[in-house]
């Protein structure tokens, strides 16, 4: 029996992708703010891709999906994660 894929939609490119390949941004229940990866509440997913992240920032896709303001620090954390992923993959080669 093969494990079933859990698909989620990127808020930027709108593609259905396995959730393990996406970054999760969560608006915590009870007004606890915005957090990355963990927590219960309303979630939005974005691809680990520079174009998707830039589009999400420019068109405020995360804010719209979460129905809340997303701090620049969250977007900067995603950018640094993207840069870390890019440098790690280039080092592996």
- Let me know if residue 88 belongs to a domain: no
Chain centroid to Cα 63, Å, comes to: 12
Q: What is the pTM of this model?
A: 0.84
- Let me know if residue 53 belongs to a domain: yes
Q: How many domains does the chain have?
A: 1
pLDDT of residue 69: 93
Burial of residue 47, with CB atoms counted within 10 A of its CB: 0-12 exposed, 13-18 middle, 19 or more buried: buried
Burial of residue 24, with CB atoms counted within 10 A of its CB: 0-12 exposed, 13-18 middle, 19 or more buried: middle
pLDDT tens series, the chain, 93 aa: 778 889 999 999 999 999 999 999 999 988 889 999 999 999 999 999 999 999 999 999 999 999 999 999 999 999 999 998 665 544 444
- CATH label of the domain that carries residue 24: 3.30.1230.10
């Amino acid at each position: 029996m093969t494990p079933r894929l859990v698909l989620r939609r990127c808020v930027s490119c709108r593609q259905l992708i396995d959730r393990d390949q996406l970054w999760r941004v969560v608006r915590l229940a009870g007004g606890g703010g915005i957090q990355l990866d963990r927590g219960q509440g309303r979630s939005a997913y974005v691809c680990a891709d520079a174009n998707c992240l830039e589009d999400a920032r420019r068109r405020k896709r995360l804010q719209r999906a979460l129905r809340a303001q997303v701090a620049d620090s969250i977007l900067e954390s995603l950018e640094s994660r993207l840069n870390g992923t890019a440098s790690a993959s280039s080092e592996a080669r």
